């Protein structure tokens, strides 16, 4: 199956570790293991399984899977629920040991060593009694939430579990998106539930659609949910520059990608009272919808300061609680004033020169250090990466906005040497003059993509498109007269 991770779309393979007696590769597996594989009953009938504490048996498994890696499998989804592979050596926790072996195998192949791993199960077999549990491994394995029932309460539990797991050292939590267990009632899960589930996945460390029923795929739901879900999947892809940077920060610092509010605001009592809210990075607040309805009412807590609705541009001030209304086409996501959200514009427009969009949210100074590397391989451990500082400053008197993209520090194979930028300043007044590196930029028709600027009065948004510019130097966009404005939430109608 394919799934959307922090760096876009990756190919992963779900594995129930066993080999059927009629498998054409059984002879190779037995030969490599020295004829020691154990015969048992598996999901599809009789099979043979591995003792992972035997070096020969573990090697037997990897001999079978190495060709799959060469065919493009990025990593493996280790599903221990249904077959009887085991670890016999006393003192080894199977989940951690198996995850370690798979991670080491990926490293040996020159790839990044992590896997999706389920909690262990002995299946009642006394040869396979071992301690296991959801916290058995924090080093190589990405935790995932098992097989979800298609209910609103399950979605709410997953939403709350994501920052909870993050707080104990699981920064890349992978939730089931779209449910899995049981046949959908009436042939299909409720469309609004599916839509809200995909929205949650869009603003979470890993978006992993998971289903045992073909009626749970995005394109099999009726409109408008089908189109809305597809739009959010496209948004997830566009957010890759932002999400990938959060993943790099988690790797470097240990701070989770989805942070409980109390990590940032330990002195605020309400930061502990809203478990279904989290910060997705320092400046983005997410409160996924977990109740039914074509228009959902969500009560959330806003931390101190000015916050801007990512989807509508409405401005609110915290600290305090508020209730927002969101149709199926949007969800409660707020960006701190001064926040910068980089997005890959080519994923939504198809523009050939791959501009980088910088959504800049008005009202305060802000910064974001954009991370980049090849997305695969181990070069980042040898310094093959870039960091590009981006700042947003309010001009003297508050009547102008200045966005500066600094030179890229570092290098990796394939790093862009030049780039066009689309700077989207949210909630500002119409400018009198726009300059790029001191040169006056003229107005252009909205959506043209040519160097120039346009202003949308109905959304108070200034869009500046720059020409292709070298990434080795700084780029400064100055919008004189573009001061911050406050806006109310628009009237809400069902999608």
The pLDDT, as a whole number, for residue 172 is: 77
The pLDDT, as a whole number, for residue 124 is: 34
The pLDDT, as a whole number, for residue 409 is: 97
- The H helix count followed by the E strand count for the chain is 9, 30
User: How far is it, in rounded angstroms, from Cα 287 to Cα 275?
Assistant: 9
Find tokens 């401005």 and name the residue.
315
Residue 102's domain comprises 2-242
| Domain limit, last residue, from 242, 260, 294 | 242
| Total domain count, the chain | 2
The pLDDT, as a whole number, for residue 303 is: 97
User: How far is it, in rounded angstroms, from Cα 75 to Cα 59?
Assistant: 17
**Do 345 and 454 share a domain, yes or no?**
yes
158: its two tokens: 């997953």
The answer to whether residue 486 is domain-embedded is no
The answer to whether residue 439 is domain-embedded is yes
Please answer whether residues 265 and 303 qualify as being in contact, where contact means their C-beta atoms are separated by less than 8 angstroms: yes
The answer to whether residue 204 is domain-embedded is yes
Q: Mean pLDDT in each 10-residue stretch from start to end of the chain (495 residues)? A: 47 82 94 94 86 93 85 76 80 78 82 67 35 43 76 92 82 83 70 94 90 76 92 95 94 88 95 96 97 95 98 97 96 98 69 77 96 91 95 88 97 94 97 96 88 96 96 97 93 75
The pLDDT, as a whole number, for residue 137 is: 54
User: How far is it, in rounded angstroms, from Cα 111 to Cα 69?
Assistant: 10
The pLDDT, as a whole number, for residue 128 is: 35
The answer to whether residue 118 is domain-embedded is yes
**Do 216 and 350 share a domain, yes or no?**
no
- Among 83, 65, 82, CA closest to 74: 65
The answer to whether residue 142 is domain-embedded is yes
The answer to whether residue 15 is domain-embedded is yes
The answer to whether residue 275 is domain-embedded is no
16: its two tokens: 């129930």
Long-range contacts of 100-107 (CB under 8 A, 24+ apart): 100/137, 100/139, 100/140, 101/52, 101/58, 101/62, 102/75, 102/76, 102/78, 102/140, 103/139, 103/140, 103/141, 105/62, 105/65, 106/69, 106/75, 107/378
**Do 40 and 163 share a domain, yes or no?**
yes
CATH of the domain at 367: 2.60.40.1180
The pLDDT, as a whole number, for residue 348 is: 42
What's the half-sphere exposure (Cβ side, CA atoms, 13 Å) at 397?
5
| Domain limit, last residue, from 207, 242, 277 | 242
Residue by residue, DSSP assigns 209-249 as E--SSGGGSGGGSPTTHHHHHHHHHHHHHHTHHHHHHHHHH
CATH of the domain at 105: 3.20.20.80
Instruction: Burial-class residue 384 by CB neighbours within 10 Å (0-12, 13-18, 19+).
Output: middle
The answer to whether residue 317 is domain-embedded is no
**Do 367 and 231 share a domain, yes or no?**
no
| Domain limit, last residue, from 204, 222, 242 | 242
**Do 191 and 80 share a domain, yes or no?**
yes
């Amino acid at each position: 199956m394919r799934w959307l991770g922090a760096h876009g779309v990756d190919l992963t393979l779900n594995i129930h570790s066993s080999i059927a007696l009629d498998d054409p590769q059984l002879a190779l597996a037995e030969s490599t293991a020295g004829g020691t594989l154990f015969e048992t009953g598996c999901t599809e009938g009789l099979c043979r399984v591995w003792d992972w504490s035997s070096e020969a048996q573990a090697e037997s498994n990897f001999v079978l899977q190495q060709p799959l890696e060469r065919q493009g499998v990025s990593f493996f989804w280790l599903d221990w629920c249904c077959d009887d592979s085991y670890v016999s050596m006393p003192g080894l926790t199977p989940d951690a040991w198996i995850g370690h072996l798979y991670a080491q195998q990926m490293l040996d192949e020159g790839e990044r060593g992590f896997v999706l791993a389920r909690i262990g199960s002995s299946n009642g077999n006394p040869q396979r009694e071992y301690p296991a549990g959801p916290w058995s491994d924090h080093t190589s394995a990405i935790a995932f939430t098992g097989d979800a029932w298609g209910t609103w309460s399950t979605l709410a539990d997953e939403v709350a579990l994501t920052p909870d797991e993050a707080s104990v050292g699981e920064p890349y939590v992978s939730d089931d998106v779209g449910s899995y267990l049981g046949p959908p009632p009436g042939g299909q899960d409720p469309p609004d539930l599916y839509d809200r589930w995909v929205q949650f996945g869009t603003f979470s460390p890993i978006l992993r659609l998971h289903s045992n029923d073909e009626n749970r795929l995005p394109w099999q739901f009726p409109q408008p949910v089908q189109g809305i879900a597809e739009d959010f999947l496209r948004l997830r892809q566009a957010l890759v520059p932002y999400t990938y940077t959060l993943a790099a920060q988690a790797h470097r610092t240990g701070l989770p990608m989805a942070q409980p509010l109390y990590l940032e605001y330990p002195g605020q009592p309400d930061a502990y009272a809203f478990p279904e809210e989290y910060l997705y990075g320092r400046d983005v607040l997410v409160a996924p919808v977990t109740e039914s309805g074509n228009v959902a009412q969500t009560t959330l807590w806003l931390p101190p300061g000015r916050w801007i609705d990512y989807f509508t541009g409405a401005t609110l001030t915290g600290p305090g609680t508020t209730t927002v209304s969101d149709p199926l086409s949007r969800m409660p996501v707020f960006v701190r004033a001064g926040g910068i959200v980089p997005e890959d514009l080519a994923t939504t427009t198809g523009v050939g020169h791959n501009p980088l969009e910088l959504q800049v949210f008005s009202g305060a100074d802000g910064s974001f250090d954009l991370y980049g590397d090849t997305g695969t391989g181990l070069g980042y451990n040898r310094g093959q990466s870039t960091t590009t500082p981006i700042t947003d400053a309010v001009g003297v008197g508050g009547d102008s906005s200045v966005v500066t993209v600094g030179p890229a520090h570092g290098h990796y194979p394939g790093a862009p040497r030049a780039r066009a930028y689309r700077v989207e300043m949210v909630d500002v007044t119409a400018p009198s003059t726009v300059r790029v590196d001191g040169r006056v930029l003229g107005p252009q028709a909205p959506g043209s993509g040519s160097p120039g600027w346009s202003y949308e009065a109905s959304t108070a948004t200034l869009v500046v498109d720059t020409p292709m510019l070298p990434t080795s130097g700084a780029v400064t966009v100055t919008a004189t007269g573009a001061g911050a404005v406050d806006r109310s939430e628009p009237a809400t109608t069902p999608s």
